[in-house]
Chains A and B, each alone.
Chain A
């Protein structure tokens, strides 16, 4: 059965740590890091990368447009 796997890349320095992307994800992939970026924001990261389906929900609600989304079909 074909399965979809996705992944997101967050521009760590552009992220403002607002957390708006977290509830937008249907698979509970994202969380805010304990570490901060250069501006002092706890940036978003994939805590649970295996669950990402590449739906881009997180990316389209990100006010700063710092999420890029990748998706593949795995046989």
Chain B
């Protein structure tokens, strides 16, 4: 069974424009799924539909086999959700907030406080536990929201831009936390983000969405193949030397490879041709390149 499954989802707010059109997803358990797309692409809309806050106009979706529109309580029991618009109580302290949300899940009072303390320490909020949330900084409040989403150790996590307001250090520790949750606890993570570098580090699979349409979906290799981005071999040679059939970029002579295994032979040949090779490396496509490739292609076709 897929942890998150969607089939032909459509969503319109005003019966004119479609925020989502024909979105189908199938995300196996334990995947960290990076959901990428420009502003207004429909990421938050998707999360809201999958968590039962919005009703799709048509189509089907399930989270752990439960339908968000029919059994929202079951979906909420198995999932932790963090969105920008879901705020916590300003007049309560960080600790009180977490304990309150733990209680709504039906946890025992002792267990609530213990689990809340654990998360506050993990997210570096322990010192601010008795401060009112209204006195928290944006990043602190955001980390507290993440703690709330994690409080019942849900097997599915929906995170809508969890690191957008965080400083680099916190962002890194949050990302490490997400990776380790997936690796250790087998948590499925649905991660909407604009931070493509981080996404490439922690996601095992991706979806690229624009104007409500899913442009690509799959692991990084699938995405690369779909976008026509290939691995390249790059060589830095002595000043003035040239390589026939290569293109020069940023001081590197580059050529596309079909696969990594071609590299040793290529290097051998260049050395045999008596070139002075200072450096040789494989240049892998980045998620950023692949992402822009898809969006450019999309713009060109519409």
Does chain A bind chain B? no
